[in-house]
Amino acid sequence: MAIVFQLDKSGNPSPEITCDGCGGVINDHTHGVAILEAPGAEEPGKVLKPIFLCNGCEEKTDKTAGPRRKVPIDQFLVQMVNNVQLLPTDLEAVGRRMMAKHW
């Protein structure tokens, strides 16, 4: 999973998604996808690690990859937020704290 943190000039870590194919930064959720291998029915409980690919790398591997599930990055992140039970009010509070800190 290629979520990394890059330090800004003030030394604060900023999360970024990098392409597992070329290593470039995916700056916009529409410029890439999250990919999960498709588990078989005989594999309940199997842990799947997402792979992030930019649109260019995803097009190159689309023809050669085995069975997999492709998810838009924004949808993947919303599913992740739901899994850790963050409510919209929690996200709003975090957004307000971030704005107060950085502005």
Q: Give the phi and the psi of residue 97 in degrees, each rounded to 5.
A: -65, -40
Single out the residue of 82, 85, 75, 84 nearest to residue 36, CA to CA.
Answer: 75
pLDDT confidence of 103, banded at 50, 70, 90?
low
90: pLDDT strictly greater than 70 = yes
- CA gap 28, 43 in Å, rounded: 33
Range 63-88 average pLDDT: 81
**pLDDT > 70: what percent of the chain?**
84
**Greatest distance between any 2 Cα atoms in the chain:** 51
Question: In this predicted model, what pLDDT tens digit does every residue of 47-56 receive, in sequence order?
Answer: 778 899 999 9
- At residue 67, the pLDDT reads 67
Report the predicted TM-score, pTM, of the whole model to 2 decimal places.
0.71
